[in-house]
Amino acid sequence: MTGSIVLFGPPGAGKGTQASLIAEITGKPPVSTGDMLRSALSEGTELGVEAKAFMEAGKLVPDEVIIGLIRERLKEPDASKGVLFDGFPRTILQAEALEEITEVSAVISIEVPDDEIVERIIGRRMDPVTGEIYHVSFKPAPIEIHDRLVQRKDDTEETVRSRLDGYHKQTKPLGNWYGERGLLITIDGTGSILEVGALVTSAVNTL
């Protein structure tokens, strides 16, 4: 399959966690706009400066900024056989722009109810050395790396509520948009990482 795959779902649905698995199965490089923006922010680039206030408030970064970022990323040689999008597109405008740039072969939607999202996000921790994502109760990190774990600045309860609100207003309609195009595959994301991983694997194997 030469097209790209989109991982769709609310913040905290497990998109980043499952992205590594899908990348391994398909060989497509994961492209996370959230990760790209966080690197820009920590490097203090112009893009980072532009995105900072939106991200810290849990609001979406303007479409034109994100579309420009993706347009550049897809010019890289590793993107020639399609990529795995995580956290992009998040608005219908972004999806329309993406249609002009590259082919989307499938959209895998990981569904998790809001009340579970908040618990998941607040307990989320990241290892800055490996990029691995852990959870204080659901996926505890090895004790020897506890000291270096970091929590995303936007993983607070207040910001999560704002991100969820934005998801329902701006991003969720995109699920129907892809459904109308026959591209949407829906997965129950409420199980354990391994259970969801098994569902994701069988969905990817049907592509």
Torsion sign, CA atoms 196, 198, 202, 207? positive
Under the binding rule (CB under 6 A), the answer on residue 54 touching ligand AMP is yes
Place of tokens 């607040």: 122
Say whether 28 is catalytic. Answer: no
- Contacting range for ligand AMP; rule: CB under 6 A; set: 50-58, 103-111, 139-147, 188-196: 50-58
- Contacting range for ligand AMP; rule: CB under 6 A; set: 58-66, 76-84, 111-119, 123-131: 58-66
Q: Which of 9, 34, 82, 189 binds ligand AMP (CB under 6 A)?
A: 34
Residues numbered 137-156 forming contacts with ligand AMP, rule: CB under 6 A: 154
Count of CB atoms situated within 10 Å of the CB of 38: 18
Say whether 161 is catalytic. Answer: no
Say whether 38 is catalytic. Answer: no
- End-to-end Cα distance, the chain: 8
Under the binding rule (CB under 6 A), the answer on residue 33 touching ligand AMP is yes
Under the binding rule (CB under 6 A), the answer on residue 160 touching ligand AMP is no
Under the binding rule (CB under 6 A), the answer on residue 177 touching ligand AMP is no
Task: Indicate the residue among 10 and 82 with the shorter CB distance to ligand AMP.
Answer: 10
What's the gap between Cα 194 and its chain centre? 18
Do strands 124-126 and 133-135 pair parallel, antiparallel, or not at all (unpaired)? antiparallel
Say whether 124 is catalytic. Answer: yes
Pairwise CA distance, residues 112 & 189, whole Å: 5
DSSP category for residue 150: B
Residues 6+ apart with CB under 8 A from 80: none
Active site residues: 15, 90, 124, 152, 163
Contact residues toward ligand AMP (CB under 6 A) are: 11, 33-34, 37, 54-55, 58-61, 66, 87-90, 94, 154, 163
